[in-house]
Amino acid sequence: MSHMDAPQSPKQNHLLASLPPAEYERIAPRLELIAMPLGEVIYESGSTLRHAYFPTTAIVSLQYLMENGASSEIAGVGNEGVLGISLFLGGNSTLTRAIVQTAGHGYQLQAQWLMEEFNRAGPMMRLMLRYTQALMTQMSQTAVCNRQHSLEQQLCRWLLLTLDRLPSNELTMTQELIAGMLGVRREGITEAAGHLQQAGFIRYRRGHITVLDRAGLETRTCECYAVVKKEFGRLLRDARNYL
């Protein structure tokens, strides 16, 4: 059974699972299970958001689009997060595009129901704001990493963050898609992935990456991975204590 066919529950999303029972039970009937196929655009840059999305088994890439059509990932969102923070930050629209990088499922919640719960100024509000802080950390660290660290380090960071959101060590992803995420040439990804494969850390065949030695990847990545992982862990841990 693939993760696309496995039983689904909103509590596979760590934010929803962190809500106290009363808040969870209030929004649970309004959560709608949706499939998120590879490559699907959840929303486009500049569009008006009508839903928030809580991925469970899917991973969604937030990308900034340039005028010439080029794009680069500024953050990823999986079972640790939510798409649509601009709804409660006063925007309703966003400058990023959200596109599915790993197929799976998630739950959508109409904007009005999210805002109704957020405006109670209770656990949902505190949880969403803590998550937003963690997401900002990821975006900031991605910008620094892309500027300061080698492509191999960036690739290791990206692989590890993706792996953290998956139930297995298998990634379905072409080198061309990874190059698009990191905003680099495909040849650079081919070279960096080749080094990791020669070291015995990964096995790559067309469209599939198997991580063989996670600890090895961690020795090759930069500090950016640990910074992001620690911040998400801290904020979610604190959220469970103070909601």
| pLDDT at residue 71 tops 80 | no
Q: Residue range 199-227: average pLDDT?
A: 90
Q: Answer whether residue 75 is part of any domain.
A: yes
Our CA dihedral for 62, 3, 79, 93, rounded to 10 degrees, sits at 40
Q: Report yes or no on 229 lying in a domain.
A: no
Average the pLDDT over 194-209 and give the result: 90
Same domain, 116 and 166: no
CA 232 to mean position of chain CA atoms: 11
Question: Which CATH number is 117's domain given?
Answer: 2.60.120.10
Residue 66 contacts by C-beta under 8 Å, 6 or more apart in sequence?
none
Which of 202, 200, 198, 196 lies closest to 220 in space, CA to CA? Answer: 196
| Residue at 237 is within a domain | no
172 in a structural domain: yes
Which DSSP symbol is given to 88?
T
State the sign of the Cα–Cα–Cα–Cα dihedral 42, 84, 124, 115: negative
Residues in Cβ contact with 237 at an 8 Å cutoff, skipping those fewer than 6 apart:
none
Number of domains in the chain: 2
142-153 exposure pattern, b = at least 16 Cβ within 10 A, e = fewer? beebbeebebbb
Domain holding 212, by residue range, is 150-221
Percentage of residues in the chain having pLDDT higher than 70: 94
Q: Residue 238 above 60 pLDDT? A: yes
What six digits make up the tokens of 59?
């991973």
Answer whether residue 231 is part of any domain.
no
Q: What is the mean pLDDT of residues 185-205?
A: 90
* pLDDT score at 1: 44
Residues 185-190, mean pLDDT to the nearest whole number? 86
> Are both 118 and 139 inside the same structural domain?
yes
164 and 76 both lie in a single domain:
no
Q: Report whether 104 contacts 12 (CB < 8 A).
A: no
